Amino acid sequence: MSESRNTAFIARSLAAVWHPCTQMKHHEQLPLIPIQRGEGAWLYDMDGRRYLDGISSWWVNLFGHANPRINQALKDQLEQLEHVMLAGFSHGPVVELSERLAALTGHRLGHAFYASDGASATEIALKMSVHYWRNQGEAGKNRFISLAGSYHGETVGALAVTDVAIFRDAYAPLVRPGACVPSPDARLAQDGETPADVARRAAAALEAHLAEHAHETAALIVEPLIQGASGMVMYDPEYLRLARALCDRYRVHLIADEIAVGCGRTGTFFACEQAGIWPDFICLSKGISGGYLPISIVLSTDAIYAAFYADETARGFLHSHSYTGNPLACRAALATLDIFAQDDVIARNQTAAARLGDAFQAAVGDHPQVRHLRQRGMILAFDVEGAPTGFARRFFTEALKRELLLRPIGNTVYTLPPYILSDAEIAFLAHQTRAALEASLD
């Protein structure tokens, strides 16, 4: 890339801002891109260069940057109420959002609890599950099960169910790790096995664990259909059906972490819908505010809610965050749900997903090092066999040179774009991915 006119600005950012998920020293080589503005699927930097946002700015953006409809809703809300505490108070946006989310679950999960980020939603679901069992007189049920390679956030509580070594190892002394059972990763199919066979094999391992440990287990937590952060690991919905049945049989809660896969990402509003099951808890965040403001929500059933409803304060769920149910964030989420309804987004995304799949099949399907090209809805990924060390950072840099924001996880290249890409943008995304791939493998 040619020299930035903003070298001084970048130096200030690197000196004063400790960037997330980053070894700061890598920025001696790795570019830091100062962004000025966004419009649709594009980000524009301070030098006027543009980048197609192929990962929705860390999986949060759904309908483009500076979306006029979400902007308008936020301007309206700003004139009325920016924030009020949610203990002892209520307001229009939080009630309307809770009702609409309940309706999206067919009123099966009709109680919405709010926080500000995904990891907090995970912790809330874990705490609610354990507290539920305690309120039922079963305080011994306080352990969790998660899948190999699972990611549910990085706070100390969420790390108990996150199986990504690089995020967890340094903090091992702080974490009370849950049990880890095999992932139904479809790539693990042995000769002749279908993805559903792999799912049944993984479910058998889950059952073996439950048979021994259900009495001390509060919940199983899963990322439905796609384990995102460990490299867009995709699996058959059969696993969710079997897990639901096993959780019922062994009296263990099922927590669906839909933080990444919810909000239409996989082709249905909730990924669980593709398995025809409902969990006891749904965690939502990321896309629910359209990528505008930090908000997370834990939805739970009447049965869970009822176990906390009592005269004693201590039987209640006393968890809180300062910005719980922030009206601006709720209003952004309502504007996002309006777009889903008005534009028939779930149906429209089927066409976009098919185009995305075709474009990538044509662009990288024949590359000799590309393995396991896979897709579900608006998430597409492939693995690069024999990639050199440092591949992810190299690819990121090569993609930026080609006006593309993609950030591989290890040797897995993936795209998870905003839903609003035009056909020309889809073609651009696929074509530049191929070019960046070739440049990173030289």
Ligand X SMILES: *Cc1c(COP(=O)(O)O)cnc(C)c1O
Residues that bind ligand X (CB under 6 A): 117-119, 122, 151-153, 223, 228-229, 257, 259-260, 285-286
Q: Which is nearer to ligand X, 259 or 359 (CB)?
A: 259
Closest separation in Å from C-beta 229 to ligand X: 6
Say if residue 148 is exposed, middle or buried (CB neighbours under 10 Å; 0-12, 13-18, 19+). middle
Q: Which is nearer to ligand X, 140 or 410 (CB)?
A: 410
Note whether 255 and 223 are within 8 A (CB).
no
d(CA 266, CA 274): 9
Give the residue at shortest CB distance from ligand X. Answer: 118
Closest separation in Å from C-beta 3 to ligand X: 33
Which amino acid makes up residue 265?
Answer: R
Closest separation in Å from C-beta 231 to ligand X: 12
Closest separation in Å from C-beta 195 to ligand X: 20
Residue spans of alpha helices (H) in 309-390: 327-342, 345-364
Q: How many residues are given for the chain?
A: 442
What is the 3-state composition of the chain as percent helix, strand, coil, each rounded to the nearest 5?
45, 15, 40
Encoded tokens for 321: 């965050």
Closest separation in Å from C-beta 259 to ligand X: 4
Closest separation in Å from C-beta 174 to ligand X: 17
Note whether 430 and 360 are within 8 A (CB).
yes
Encoded tokens for 177: 């790790």
Q: Which is nearer to ligand X, 64 or 153 (CB)?
A: 153
Q: Which is nearer to ligand X, 244 or 286 (CB)?
A: 286
d(CA 63, CA 56): 9
Q: Which is nearer to ligand X, 135 or 183 (CB)?
A: 183
Closest separation in Å from C-beta 207 to ligand X: 24
Closest separation in Å from C-beta 367 to ligand X: 27
Strand order in the sheet with 404-405: 35-39, 42-45, 50-53, 404-405
For 78-89, b/e burial (b = at least 16 CB within 10 A) is eeeeeeeebeee
DSSP state of 390: T
d(CA 185, CA 241): 15
Which amino acid makes up residue 216?
Answer: E
- Rounded (10°) CA dihedral 70, 73, 78, 84: -90
Q: Which is nearer to ligand X, 152 or 209 (CB)?
A: 152
Closest separation in Å from C-beta 13 to ligand X: 21
Q: Name residues whose C-beta falls within 8 Å of residue 187's C-beta, 6 or more positions apart in sequence.
A: 233, 372, 383
Q: Which is nearer to ligand X, 379 or 437 (CB)?
A: 379
Closest separation in Å from C-beta 230 to ligand X: 10
Angle at 322 between CA 284 and CA 301, to 5 degrees: 35
Q: Which is nearer to ligand X, 91 or 152 (CB)?
A: 152
d(CA 235, CA 192): 16
Q: Which is nearer to ligand X, 45 or 291 (CB)?
A: 291
Q: Which is nearer to ligand X, 259 or 282 (CB)?
A: 259
Q: Which is nearer to ligand X, 45 or 262 (CB)?
A: 262
Closest separation in Å from C-beta 72 to ligand X: 26
Beta bridge partners of 257: 283
Would you list the DSSP string of 298-309? EEE-HHHHHHH-
